[in-house]
Amino acid sequence: MTHGPVVVIDYDAGNLRSVSRALGHVGAEPVVSADPADIDRAGALVLPGVGAAADTMAKLSERGLVEPILEYIAADRPFLGVCMGMQALLLRSEEGDTPCLGVLPGEVRRFEPSPDRKVPHMGWNTVEWLREHPVVEGVPSGSYFYFVHSYHPTVSDASLALGETEYGVRFPSVLARGHLVATQFHPEKSGELGLRIYRNFVEWARRLSTASSPVPAAT
Amino acid sequence: MLTRRIIPCFDVDNGRVVKGVSFVELRDAGDPVELARAYEQQGADELVFLDITASSDNRSTTYDMVAATADQVFIPFTVGGGIRSALDMKVMLELGAEKVSINTSAIQTPELINEGAYRFGSQAVVVAIDARRVRGSKGQWEVFTHGGRNPTGLDAVEWAKEAATRGAGELLVTSMDTDGHQSGYDIGLLRAISDAVTVPVIASGGAGGPEHMTKALAEGHASAVLAASIFHFGTYSIREVKEHLAAAGLPIRPVPAAS
């Protein structure tokens, strides 16, 4: 495999441009596309997302993106999901009782709102790393990231959690398995440390494609 | 732990920040992008741009500003002012704003809140409420529109509840009584609304110093505090405010180390 581009999946997600800008800022020259051929040639794939689960799944399905994404992830190629792009990876979401992609074993549950625990969970909260990972290299455990969501992921396999956050409940705010990483927070809106995560992801993907390339790419 | 947010607010006219900013050496104190970047470096948690451009013919200057800000600023920002339809919302969000704020248009067409929440998610829809204390009442506030000029007859707490039920993800609550006086936020108003809804409330109107912000958060139960003049004129830096709030025991995101 040669160095494919970083492809951001285009399905009208609200944070599509913010994610693309952050990737551009760290030098990735992202390709924004809904074309399965672009997914196929991607060196790294990014699934953004905000809003409702049912709407997200419907749009992915309408655009014929579900199968290409599942095939890409099944091949364990570098993948980053952000916010709804993380939740979509689980089996299902309580939000409208929506079946999701089912890539990871777990469900998406609603925060219980109250006047002293507001929902959406909106603002900067801390993330504790549960292990080391190339994507969070140089980012201290306990760093602050920007969250905005009313539903949170849960996983039935605790080893999937890379980062954890507390908001009434402790929930896995970063999931990682093989070459897949997903964050509940918005790295593209989390200042320098958020950009560091994008930079780490892009460099990690680049190293992986170099390592697996039969012919060394020209520099 | 989820931290309380400190939010500088700018008034923007034809794509330029008005009511001068003098807290730091800037090449161009009217350039929203340069200011936004400076505040991001200082530790602002979010930003709000209030577009006061009078003529809708000049909206393109606002669009350019929003796009340029989104290109260079990597913290969330909200755009308010002149947003009257779901299409207006869509344009701002696609240009890179995290949220849009609606005020008069939400009162004239409350369905706009539902439509915005349905199409873009509640997290993208902020309803701004300008309220004034009803004379002689103990705890009643009336909603005003058009920058506080026109009374609506609506009770602020009831309207806040309705806005949240319709899908607002956040409420930006400004007291017209305290706004501009720098003598503190209207704690009664903040608390009445914050305790009546389960969405976050941003306190606005009356910040004169960090002690006012502490009160708005601790006693007014707000999730965030918005201020303009005290930051823009350098009376207090974001860092000073954050240190004060942290010392008062409030959860605050520390100012990031300079990169």
SS3 per residue for chain A: CCCCCEEEECCCCCCHHHHHHHHHHCCCCCEEECCHHHHHHCCEEEECCCCCHHHHHHHHHHCCCHHHHHHHHHCCCCEEEECHHHHCCCCEECCCCEECCCCCCEEEEECCCECCECCCEEEEEEEEECCCCHHHCCCCCCEEEEEEECEEEEECCHHHEEEEEEECEEEEEEEEECCEEEECCCHHHCHHHHHHHHHHHHHHHHHHHHHHCCCCCCC
Residue bearing the bigger pLDDT, A132 or B94: A132
Please give, rounded to a whole number of angstroms, the shortest distance from the CA of A168 to a CA of chain B: 9
A186 to chain B: which residues are within 8 Å by CB? 76
A123 to chain B: which residues are within 8 Å by CB? 2-5, 45, 200, 223-224
pLDDT tens for A188-215 read 999 999 999 999 999 999 999 887 655 4
Domain extent listing, chain B: 5-247
What's the confidence (pLDDT) of residue A119? Answer: 94
Chain A, 69 to 128: residues with Cβ < 8 Å from chain B are 113-116, 118-126
What's the confidence (pLDDT) of residue A50? Answer: 84
What is the CATH T-level fold of the domain B5-247, as seen in this structure? TIM Barrel (3.20.20)
Mean pLDDT of chain B: 92
What's the confidence (pLDDT) of residue B24? Answer: 56
B169 to chain A: which residues are within 8 Å by CB? 120, 122, 148
CATH: 3.40.50.1110, 3.40.50.880, 3.90.550.10, 3.30.420.40. Which one for A6-212? Answer: 3.40.50.880
pLDDT tens for B203-222 read 999 999 999 999 999 999 99
pLDDT tens for B121-159 read 899 999 999 999 999 888 999 999 987 789 999 999 999
Does the pLDDT of residue A216 top 50, yes or no? no
What's the confidence (pLDDT) of residue A80? Answer: 98
Domain extent listing, chain A: 6-212
Chain B nearest-CA residue for A21: B71
pLDDT tens for B39-50 read 999 999 999 999
Burial B6-40 (b: 16+ CB within 10 A, else e): bbbbbbbbbbbbeeebebeeeeebbbbbbbbbbbb
pLDDT tens for A20-69 read 999 999 999 999 999 999 999 999 999 998 888 888 999 999 999 999 99
Q: Do A191 and B256 touch (CB under 8 A)?
A: yes
Instruction: Beginning with the edge strand found earlier in the chain, give each strand of the sheet holding A169-177 in spatial order.
Output: A31-33, A6-9, A44-47, A79-82, A180-183, A169-177, A161-167, A121-129, A143-149
Burial B211-246 (b: 16+ CB within 10 A, else e): ebbbbbbeebbbbbbbbbebbbeebbbbeebbebbe
